[in-house]
């Protein structure tokens, strides 16, 4: 309890609090970093096998954050898939997807070739950002453990028997 009386513990709590605030601010700053610094890329993708109506067809991790898919034609007869017949879902690092709408029901289980799949490709900046975000999360965990330890000291100090002089 002497630590509490002479203000030592209060200083520890202030330092840990400042560290916690810094960590939270840094995490907030880099939260969207993994997507923002990616490279906008357009490629041709052949052999996408469409699922049933209203069932997503994932494009896989090779195509993260899909922005648009255009120019899709049937792989066997070259009939074009119109924009009203499907919906594109951006997804995340696991890849985006294409979903057939009711208007595109005749395309279910068909293979299509798409001339333009636009997605946000990995970049060196994104990889560095991901590592930094992971480091901040680890540091935040460390700060959290310190805060819990100080709270434990305060609780123990409150119930510790005081020596009388």
Walking along the chain (165 residues) 10 residues at a time, the average pLDDT comes out as 61 78 78 78 93 92 92 89 92 90 91 94 79 82 82 78 62
Q: Are residues 75 and 107 in the same domain?
A: yes
Q: Is residue 165 part of a domain?
A: no
Q: Are residues 8 and 79 in the same domain?
A: no
Q: Structural domain tally of the chain? A: 2
Q: Is residue 164 part of a domain?
A: no
Q: Is residue 7 part of a domain?
A: yes
Q: Is residue 87 part of a domain?
A: yes
Residue 4: predicted pLDDT: 56
- What single DSSP character describes residue 39? E
Residue 136: predicted pLDDT: 80
Within 8 A by CB and 6+ apart from 120, the residues are 35, 38, 39, 40, 41, 64, 65, 67
CB 92 within 8 A of CB 126: no
Q: Are residues 50 and 27 in the same domain?
A: no
The parent domain of residue 74 ranges over: 38-122
Residue 31: predicted pLDDT: 72
């Amino acid at each position: 309890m002497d630590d509490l009386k002479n203000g030592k513990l209060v200083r520890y709590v202030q330092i840990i609090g400042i560290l916690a605030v810094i960590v939270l601010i840094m995490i907030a700053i880099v939260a969207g970093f993994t997507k923002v610094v990616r490279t906008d890329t357009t490629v041709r993708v052949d052999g996408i096998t469409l699922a049933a109506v209203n069932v997503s067809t994932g494009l896989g991790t090779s195509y993260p954050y899909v922005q648009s898919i255009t120019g899709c034609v049937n792989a066997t007869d070259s009939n074009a898939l119109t924009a009203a017949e499907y919906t594109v879902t951006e997804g995340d690092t696991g890849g985006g997807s294409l979903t057939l709408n009711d208007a595109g029901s005749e395309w279910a289980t068909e293979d299509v070739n798409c001339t333009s799949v636009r997605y946000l490709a990995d970049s060196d900046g994104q990889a560095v950002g991901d590592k930094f975000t992971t480091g901040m999360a680890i540091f935040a965990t460390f700060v959290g453990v310190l805060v819990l330890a100080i709270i434990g000291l305060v609780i123990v100090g409150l119930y510790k028997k005081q020596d009388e002089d």
